[in-house]
Amino acid sequence: MLNLVRASATRLSRSRRFSTAIPGPCIVHKRGTDILHDPWFNKDTGFPLTERDRLGLRGLLPPRVISFEQQYARFMESYRSLEKNTQGEPDSVVSLAKWRILNRLHDRNETLYYRVLIDNINDFAPIIYTPTVGLVCQNYSGLFRRPRGMYFCAKDKGEMMSMIYNWPAHQVDMIVLTDGSRILGLGDLGVQGIGIPIGKLDMYVAAAGINPQKV
């Protein structure tokens, strides 16, 4: 019986690559500014000169190469400065300011963003999820900078099946869904409730090791 279970597990692992599996190298079909505007592939000033030449980035970035570790340290320094500069401000103002600086990083460089979350999950969990996410949802229309997730409305009736294929990932392992009608006891926030799925999936990535490209 034990051998049968092991054989079944082996077949399952071969048939499907789980989110927690470490991905191998990927082929990047983008070049130039398209890479810099894609948070999946953007390394900011971390691109070495060989990659800048190969990907058409030379001249599009400041010439100095800044390592991933240096970028990490710079962000954390900026975050600590924000904490210092907002001392004495109302809690809601401070929380939204912290969310904004994390969200800007998320929009620009997802690799660095998730590294920051993983290493500082105790500090950042209350910012990307409860309690701050409720405040974010209430103010989402003013905080919105770039779309995340998918949106389905009554006008999409009959089109939802085809809309699913608009999602860029070929494999999705986890979905968080909300109708926006009961957000953390705040009531019906409609489309602004999208902040809940975004924050919850970021928690699954940072705390449970789910591949962020498959959520």
- At residue 2, the pLDDT reads 44
| H helix or E strand, kind and range, residue 60 | none
The pLDDT tens digits for 123-158 are 999 999 999 999 999 999 999 988 899 999 999 999
The pLDDT tens digits for 65-101 are 999 999 999 999 999 999 999 999 999 999 999 999 9
**Does residue 26 carry a pLDDT above 70?**
yes
**Band of pLDDT at residue 184, cut at 50, 70 and 90:** confident
Note whether 92 and 134 are within 8 A (CB).
Answer: no
pTM of the model: 0.85
Note whether 150 and 197 are within 8 A (CB).
Answer: no
Catalytic residue among 43, 98, 200, 214: 200
Catalytic residue among 79, 98, 113, 129: 129
**Band of pLDDT at residue 6, cut at 50, 70 and 90:** low
- Give the integer Cα–Cα distance in Å for 90 and 102: 19
Query: Is-catalytic flag, 200?
Result: yes
Query: Is-catalytic flag, 204?
Result: no
Query: Which residue has better confidence, 138 or 5?
Result: 138
Question: What 3 state SS string does 72-93 have?
Answer: HHHHHHHHHHHHHHCCCCCHHH
